[in-house]
């Protein structure tokens, strides 16, 4: 994490393929994972010769001011290094700014492709959200510790059957069985998100709650196989609720999810 302000690269030996609406966009066995400055997740950089659709240079857009120092897998048209942006042309669409060639010589002229416009495969397996980080780990552990989650003195969840999810660089997340959550205090949200390691999440807000209690809990109804045990459990942001573990209050951590507005940029 001390290198977040720098460009970081890691060679990849997997076969990487991207497509758009069934049109092949690239196929390569010579990709690199690239963490651009201020980015917490990597993208794939591929040799331009392995891109099968036209790339048209455009003026590289300037990122907006006052962004957080660390950004997640959003708005990858914002770049914090020198280089050339491109429009990627596919049948029926021009994907403006969906490719970027960093000037850094370590990349050998490779082009970084944005994630969201394309469907991605590593070998013959589809990939969700963004490339997996080889330096990141998730441990999913059953726990008998008593977990109590509250907001402004109101208990939202109380369990001794939680699942602890420990993910590199992220506070421990406690997934609570639905039977131990007071769902009458929550209301489903229209918000969804995608995690490369867990899958597609849906959210809850505090029913009739004040600002800051929107989207402060989530669930995975159909998680990826690696974390299937959290299916249907509910997890609350420790950044925005009060967490007590075995009778000991856990201070609220400060992370990009400490506020909803910051989380939207992350």
The answer to whether residues 64 and 176 belong to one domain is no
The answer to whether residues 143 and 116 belong to one domain is no
The answer to whether residues 19 and 77 belong to one domain is yes
Specify if 225 maps to a domain.
yes
The answer to whether residues 106 and 183 belong to one domain is no
101 token code pair? 């060639």
The answer to whether residues 27 and 71 belong to one domain is yes
Number of domains present in the structure of the chain: 2
Specify if 239 maps to a domain.
yes
Specify if 41 maps to a domain.
yes
Specify if 1 maps to a domain.
no
The answer to whether residues 198 and 119 belong to one domain is no
The answer to whether residues 121 and 143 belong to one domain is no
pLDDT at 37: 93
The answer to whether residues 143 and 261 belong to one domain is yes
Residue ending a domain, among 126, 157, 174, is 126
The answer to whether residues 19 and 113 belong to one domain is yes
Blockwise average pLDDT, block size 10, the chain, 266 residues? 85 96 96 94 96 96 85 82 95 95 94 94 93 93 97 97 95 97 97 93 94 93 95 96 97 84 64
Residue ending a domain, among 78, 103, 126, is 126
pLDDT at 169: 87
The answer to whether residues 113 and 56 belong to one domain is yes
pLDDT at 69: 83
pLDDT at 246: 98
Specify if 133 maps to a domain.
no
Specify if 66 maps to a domain.
yes
Specify if 131 maps to a domain.
no
Q: What is the CATH number of the domain that holds 145?
A: 2.170.150.40
pLDDT at 25: 97
Residue 31's domain comprises 8-126
Specify if 98 maps to a domain.
yes
The answer to whether residues 148 and 261 belong to one domain is yes
Residue ending a domain, among 59, 93, 126, is 126
pLDDT at 226: 92
Burial 159-182 (b: 16+ CB within 10 A, else e): bebbbbbebeeebbbbbbeeebbe
pLDDT at 265: 59
pLDDT at 50: 97
pLDDT at 21: 93
pLDDT at 110: 96
pTM, rounded to two decimals: 0.87
The answer to whether residues 66 and 93 belong to one domain is yes
pLDDT at 264: 64
């Amino acid at each position: 994490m001390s290198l977040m302000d720098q460009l970081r690269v890691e060679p990849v030996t997997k076969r990487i393929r991207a497509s758009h609406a069934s049109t092949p966009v690239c196929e390569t066995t010579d990709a690199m994972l690239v963490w651009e400055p201020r980015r917490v997740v990597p993208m794939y950089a591929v040799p331009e010769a392995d891109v099968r659709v036209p790339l048209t240079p455009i003026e590289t857009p300037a990122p907006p001011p006052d962004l957080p120092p660390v950004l997640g897998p959003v708005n990858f048209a914002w770049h914090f290094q020198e280089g050339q942006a491109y429009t990627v042309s596919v049948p029926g669409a021009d994907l403006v700014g969906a490719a970027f060639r960093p000037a850094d010589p370590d990349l050998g002229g490779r082009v970084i492709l944005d994630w969201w416009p394309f469907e991605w495969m590593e070998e013959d397996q589809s990939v969700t959200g963004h490339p997996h980080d080889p330096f990141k780990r998730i441990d999913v552990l059953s726990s008998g510790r008593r977990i109590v989650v509250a907001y402004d003195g109101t208990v939202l969840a109380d369990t001794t059957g939680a699942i602890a999810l420990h993910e590199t660089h992220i506070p421990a997340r406690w997934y609570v069985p639905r039977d131990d959550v007071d769902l009458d205090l929550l209301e489903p949200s229209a918000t969804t998100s995608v995690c490369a390691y867990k899958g597609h999440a849906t959210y809850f807000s505090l029913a009739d709650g004040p600002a800051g209690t929107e989207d402060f809990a989530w669930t995975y109804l159909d998680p990826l196989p690696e974390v299937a045990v959290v299916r249907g459990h509910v997890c609350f942001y420790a950044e925005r609720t009060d967490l007590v573990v075995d009778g000991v209050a856990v201070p609220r951590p400060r992370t990009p999810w400490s506020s909803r507005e910051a989380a939207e940029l992350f």
